[in-house]
């Protein structure tokens, strides 16, 4: 597609709510503007969040890839994934598949949702992700989300937004709600 001469890099990080929903909002805006979009979601294989269902319905302009590996931070009930070592191996395979999409030249915008968690949880080395940023197609706009972005990753991005938590109902004992949290 190559809409941009120079694609920029975005990071949505921090402990506050809004990283994935901001990325999905950007995907919608981009689709509306005729950009070709790919949203790749890591670590949330346990259930398809409702925004993903919508994006899949408009899949002519938006490819959605969700990897089935789930991390306990996203689903404490999920005990089926085995040891950290196995998880690490599987997540790395997912990363390699995602990398193929990034370099496929099929998209103007690629979103790697929760990829930063993979690095901050040490399932992938920071240098692997930095290498992807450094070598991505020049025109490609790239969005990375997840908690705990490192200083070196932050240096690599053009847009960096820290979703800082001031308050969240979770800490008042309130459960997550369909349509708001998922």
CB burial string 139-159: b at 16+ within 10 A, e below: ebbbbbbbbebeeebeebbee
Q: 3 vs 17, which CB is nearer to ligand ATP? A: 17
Q: How far is CA 20 from its chain centroid?
A: 7
Residue among 3, 4, 21, 128 that touches ligand ATP (CB under 6 A): 21
Residue 19 interacting with Mg ion (CB under 5 A): yes
Q: Which of 103, 182 has the CB closer to ligand ATP?
A: 182
Note whether 147 and 161 are within 8 A (CB): no
Nearest C-alpha neighbor of 46 from the set 75, 20, 19, 89: 75
**Toward ligand ATP, which CB reaches closer, 74 or 103?**
74
Q: Is there binding between residue 17 and ligand ATP (CB under 6 A)?
A: yes
Strand partners, 64: 39
Q: Is 164 in the site for ligand ATP (CB under 6 A)?
A: no
User: Quick one: which segment of 15-23, 119-127, 133-141, 152-160 binds ligand ATP (CB under 6 A)?
Assistant: 15-23
Part of the chain binding ligand ATP (CB under 6 A), chosen from 19-27, 28-36, 76-84, 98-106: 19-27
Q: Sheet with 9-13: list strands edge to edge.
A: 62-66, 37-41, 109-113, 141-145, 9-13, 159-162
Q: Which residue is nearest to Mg ion (CB)?
A: 20
Alpha-carbon distance of 17 to 31, in angstroms, equals 23
Q: Choose the binding region for Mg ion from 14-22, 35-43, 97-105, 166-174 (rule: CB under 5 A).
A: 14-22
User: Using CB under 6 A as the criterion, which residues of the chain lie in contact with ligand ATP when the complex forms?
Assistant: 15-21, 74, 147, 163, 165, 168, 170, 176, 181-182
């Amino acid at each position: 597609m190559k809409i941009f001469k120079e694609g920029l890099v975005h990071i949505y990080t921090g402990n506050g709510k809004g990283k994935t929903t901001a990325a999905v909002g950007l995907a919608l805006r981009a689709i509306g503007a005729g950009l070709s979009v790919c949203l790749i979601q890591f670590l949330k294989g346990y259930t398809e969040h409702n925004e993903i269902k919508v994006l899949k319905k408009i899949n002519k302009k938006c490819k959605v890839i969700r990897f089935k590996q789930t991390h306990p931070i996203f689903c404490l009930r999920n005990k089926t994934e085995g040891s950290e070592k196995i998880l690490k191996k599987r997540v790395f395979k997912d990363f390699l598949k995602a990398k193929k999409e990034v370099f496929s030249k099929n998209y103007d915008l690629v979103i790697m949702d929760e990829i930063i968690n993979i690095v901050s949880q040490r399932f992938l080395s920071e240098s692997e992700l930095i290498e992807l940023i450094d070598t991505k197609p020049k025109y490609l706009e790239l969005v990375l989300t997840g908690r705990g972005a490192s200083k070196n990753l932050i240096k690599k991005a053009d847009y960096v937004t820290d979703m800082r938590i001031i308050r969240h109902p979770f800490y008042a004992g309130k459960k997550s709600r369909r349509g708001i949290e998922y």
